[in-house]
Structure 1
Amino acid sequence: MTTTAAPATGGPASPSYTAAGTFPEHLVRRDFAGLGDTVAETAYFQALVPRGLREWTGPDGVREAFTGWFGDLDDFDVVEAVVGGVGERLHLRWRARARGEKLDGVWCLVEQEMYADTDDSGRLTRLRLLCSGFCPEQARSGA
């Protein structure tokens, strides 16, 4: 997995980067409980996915969303993750390869991009996510 982390300014990383940095780490391991621990109790999460706009609240909602998307896959490998910022807002992006029964056993790519605000403790509070959906990989030459 390629990971890039870049604070929004030239100074030291703010506390918000702590949650932002651990979010992709939990995702890589499909540790949905840990992923939810990076989110504030009052968090509001919106995701634009191929089926439309979805909304959840709190850590349990975030856990539910990610468990539904990635929890039952046979194979899941985050191949790239980027953490950065736009002003005080966090920017996270990841791309993964996945395979599972719900994907008809076909290897797929999925990319998600998220912007999030944080509270004073560094937990994520307002999360907005855009998802590519699961896209079948192109046949590899020579395969």
Structure 2
Amino acid sequence: MKNLRTTGEAFLKALITRDFKQMETFLAPDVKFRALLPPGSFEWSGPAAVIENLASWFGSAEDFEVLDSQVEEVSDGRLRLAYKFRLRPHPFNPGSGWHVIEQQLFCDGGAEALNGIDLLCSGFLPESENK
């Protein structure tokens, strides 16, 4: 039986495998994407904007490891997705080494699609800062 949790799990699985085309199938046409990133807060609308941002952060990594991932229901209609990745190179600094990034997503939606995503990001941190 499809519900918000299974939709969120499928979205996270697509992200972990970096299957951005599949990920888009779990987003409502009018999805709102708000993100608090190290440089500031941003807001976008539509599946293409969500995918474009996630792909720019994770799509070009030559090495990509999942250190942690979680899906948790906050309440009816609200879901928390969390993940921590280790990757290299940094997406905006191609000559760099390993980086770790952690993100928390609070998602609204239903059985068919996510219609709201609020993301909090740690930023890409050089691995040496995390030891």
TM-score of the superposition, structure 2-length normalised?
Answer: 0.88
1:113 corresponds to 2:104: yes
Cα drift, residue 138 of structure 1: 2.2
Question: Which residue number corresponds to residue 96 of structure 1?
Answer: 85
Q: Distance in 2 between matches of 1:52 and 1:104?
A: 25
TM-score of the superposition, structure 1-length normalised?
Answer: 0.81
Specify the code of the residue in structure 1 equivalent to 2:84.
R
Instruction: Kindly indicate whether the alpha-carbon contact (under 8 Å) linking 1:18 and 1:122 is maintained by their aligned counterparts in 2.
Output: no
Question: Which residue number corresponds to residue 137 of structure 1?
Answer: 127
Cα drift, residue 23 of structure 1: 1.4
1:39 corresponds to 2:27: yes
User: Structure 2 residue aligned with 1:70, among 42, 58, 72?
Assistant: 58
CA 35–105 in structure 1, closer or farther in 2 if over 3 Å, else same: same
Runs (4+) of structure 1 exceeding 4 A deviation are none
The structure number with the bigger radius of gyration is 1
Q: Distance in 2 between matches of 1:79 and 1:65?
A: 21
Specify the code of the residue in structure 2 equivalent to 1:31.
D
Specify the code of the residue in structure 2 equivalent to 1:83.
V
Cα drift, residue 14 of structure 1: 6.3
Q: Distance in 2 between matches of 1:140 and 1:52?
A: 22
Cα drift, residue 105 of structure 1: 2.6
**Partner secondary structure for residue 128 of structure 2:** coil
Instruction: Kindly indicate whether the alpha-carbon contact (under 8 Å) linking 1:100 and 1:106 is maintained by their aligned counterparts in 2.
Output: yes
Question: Which residue number corresponds to residue 124 of structure 1?
Answer: 114
Cα drift, residue 104 of structure 1: 3.2
Alignment of 1:77-92 (within 5 A): 77-88=65-76, 89-92=78-81
C-alpha RMSD over aligned residues: 2.1
Q: Which runs of 5+ in 1 are unaligned?
A: 1-12
Q: Among the aligned pairs, what percent are the same residue?
A: 34
CA 138–56 in structure 1, closer or farther in 2 if over 3 Å, else same: same
Cα drift, residue 19 of structure 1: 1.2
Q: Distance in 2 between matches of 1:61 and 1:90?
A: 20
Q: Distance in 1 between matches of 2:43 and 2:65?
A: 25
